Structure 1
Amino acid sequence: MTYILRPVQTGDVQPIYEMAKSTGGGFTNLPPDKKTLSAKIERSIASFIRVGDEISDDIFMFVLADDEAGVIHGTCQIFASVGQRWPFYSYRISALTQHSEELGRTFRADILNLSTDLEGCTEVGGLYLHPNARSGGLGLLLARSRYLFIRNHRNRFADKTLAELRGVIDPAGSSPFWNGVAGRFFGMSFQEADEFNGKNGNQFIADLMPKHPVYIAMLPDSARAVIGVPHTSGRAAMRMLENENFVWEKYVDIFDGGPTMSVNTDRISTIEKTNDGVISDIISYEDSNKIADANMVKMLICAGQLNDFRCAYGWVKQDKDNVQIDMICAKSLRLNIGDSISFVPRG
């Protein structure tokens, strides 16, 4: 079985919808609404075929597929420039220090400030892998393939890339952060707000969210405890982001308080470590001795531009600009001798 990452197609809507229903909530970029997902897929298809090499309001949606079996196991997305259609809101944690001479004391207050600082950044998000496929490095394949796509279409993306991690959600599907902050102003539950945002965008936040700072000390303990804390299922994702040089710069999601990680796009580790080459030979994968003798290394390999982009694991040996790859990977990615590929150590 060979898994490949490829651009989403119109016929993928049903399996993506089934995955969206199983997320458990809090996945704004993957709402369990077939109409919304269909519109997103159509928008993605238009982005893949758009003529031009500049940053635009593109969304690129991918699926992890076993095309031979006709099964989709995961999905992920890239938003070329956030804040194009609606403002991109975050809370930025800052501090206010005040001193009283009479008391002889200095007080420091941590504050949540509503911010659109991150508008114009590229966002990687919407990553979901079916529980039955969470092994063999498939999560890394999903996540890192996006960075390869960004690298090989660099002019279409911003100089800063961000990733929003889902925040803490309790067993009942409620968000302690939402209940302690925004929920007090919106008159709707976290599930209702999250679903509305996924379907309609977040303009309602601009209409209703108070613009004044929120003093963290005035929030209930339950809300304070989850600020900047990822959901338990997102801790591995946070480690993967840190390994790619993403850092937390005190921005949190206004819905669930989850951390927003960011990085200079060209400093993403996968982008820095990727090499290019031309296929000089294709080695039979069944001949394991030949692969061992050739000192081939397991790599993440991609080829093709825009709608022809494909990515998969394979075996590679590089000799200057010439590379050897294994036959199964070559077949999966539709490659022949003389084709160009990009590749990076599996990690």
Structure 2
Amino acid sequence: MMSFRIRAAAPGDLQHLYDMAKLTGGGFTNLPPDRKALTAKLERAAAAFGNTEEGAPREVKDELFVLVLEDTTTGEVRGTAQIFTCVGQQWPFYSYRIATLTQHSKELGRTFRAELLNLVTDLEGSSEVGGLFLHPGERAGGLGLLLARSRYLFIAMHRRRFADRILAELRGIIDERGGSPFWDGVAGRFFGMSFQEADYFNAINGNQFIADLMPKHPVYVAMLPEGARQVIGLPHPTGRAAMRMLEEEGFAAEGYVDIFDGGPTMTARTDRVRSIAEARTATVTHVRALEGTGQARRALVATGRLSDYRCAYGELAEDGPDGVVLDPVAAAALGVSAGDTIWHVAR
């Protein structure tokens, strides 16, 4: 368990990412099984990791950071996660916002409530955490949590590069054929494309085609097929744990759903995300085993800026006002020794 760490992705990780992309089962826009698209992602991430300009406050550029979960004993990459600093700059960031229209008829003595789906770009300019995928062989021991929360420590350590609002899109319900009941009931009627075709096209080329072809009028939910109505705002069964993790960090579903599969979009104020708000810096005073001392605290521990970023689980103990003792396994995974600065948040 302790032989895993998070690090910045590098161009040499392409084959690992491609192998994982083939395991996602579709509907996973941020990790398409396409070498060209993944190469472009890694090149974009390399540019972001290589950009040392902090930028002026409130000036958030459109950058992508890709992180990977590495087994330090074998060098194998077993998971990945992504952070987008500012969505909606390259092409519009569309969502459906669920709205309620209430109308009262005096003659009938009844009030009618109609749910509508409005096509909006409300979330444009937000940062986004996404693209989280853990190899099926590693889904134990808290590695998904390490992957997810390592992104928040990265944001805390590079706060000026991120917006004041942050979102996470959860994959919606996909049927056994790999299709989407939501897509079939809404957008599929206007595009002449299956969900798989549209999802793949979006992953490779962006979603400007949605802007060109999608009807701009509100969609009345009551007029949709039963299958589409039932899945609005529901996460894919494999995403339920991710939804709980997001809720524990302070994210909430506030009526925004994905235009492709109807999955929920969770949002939060960046500075109120728990792992960002509670992150602390400290100087490593000693590296030594803490087992049996009664002082050890389990934590996520991170170090390094940009491409030198690393994060791992560790045990630490307070040592003076700004110092900590760190366990040797975590110190080795992070490449830190006494005198180095770390960031940490309780596990």
Which residue matches 1:127? 132
Which residue pairs with 2:323 in the alignment?
322
The aligned amino acid for 1:19 is M
1:67 deviates by 3.4
Aligned to 1:234: 239
State the Cα deviation string for residues 95-115 of structure 1 (Å, max 9, x = none): 111122222221110000000
Tell me the SS of whatever aligns to 2:291.
helix
CA distances 1:312-343 after superposition (whole Å, capped 9, x unpaired): 01110013201000111111111011100011
Q: 1:294 to 1:179 in 2, by over 3 A?
A: same
Q: Which amino acid aligns with 2:185?
A: G
Find the counterpart in structure 1 of residue 97 from structure 2. Answer: 92
Say if 1:294 and 1:317, in contact at 8 Å, map to a contact too: no
Structure 1's unaligned 5+ residue stretches are 285-289
The correspondence for 2:267, drawn from 262, 270, 279, is: 262
Matched with 2:61 is: 56
The 2-side partners of 1:254 and 1:133 are apart by: 31
Which secondary structure does the structure 1 equivalent of 2:48 belong to? helix
Instruction: State the partner residue of 1:79.
Output: 84
Assess if the C-alpha contact under 8 Å between 1:44 and 1:59 holds in 2. yes
Describe the superposition over 1:243-288 as per-residue Cα deviations: whole angstroms up to 9, x where unpaired.
001000000000000000000001001112222100000004xxxx
Letter of the 2:131 partner, please give it. Answer: G
Identity %: 60
Corresponding position of 1:287: none
Q: Which moved more, 1:67-76 or 1:86-95?
A: 67-76
Instruction: Provide the secondary structure at the position in 1 that maps to 2:68.
Output: strand
User: Aligned ranges for residues 242-261 of structure 1 at < 5 Å?
Assistant: 242-261=247-266
TM-score (norm 1): 0.97
User: Which residue is 1:308 aligned to?
Assistant: 308
Segments of 4+ in structure 1 off by > 4 A?
A: none
Measured against aligned partners, the alpha-carbon deviations of 1:95-145 in whole angstroms (never above 9, x if no partner) come to 111122222221110000000000000000000000110111100000000
One-letter amino acid of the structure 2 residue matched with residue 33 of structure 1: D
In 1, Cα distance between the equivalents of 2:282 and 2:103? 59
Q: Secondary structure at the match of 2:172?
A: coil
- Structure 1: how far apart are the matches of 2:48 and 2:292? 41
Distance (Å, rounded) in 2 between the aligned partners of 1:327 and 1:145: 20
CA distance in 2, matches of 1:51, 1:142: 24
Contact 1:31 1:198 in 2 (8 A): yes
Partner of 1:47: 48
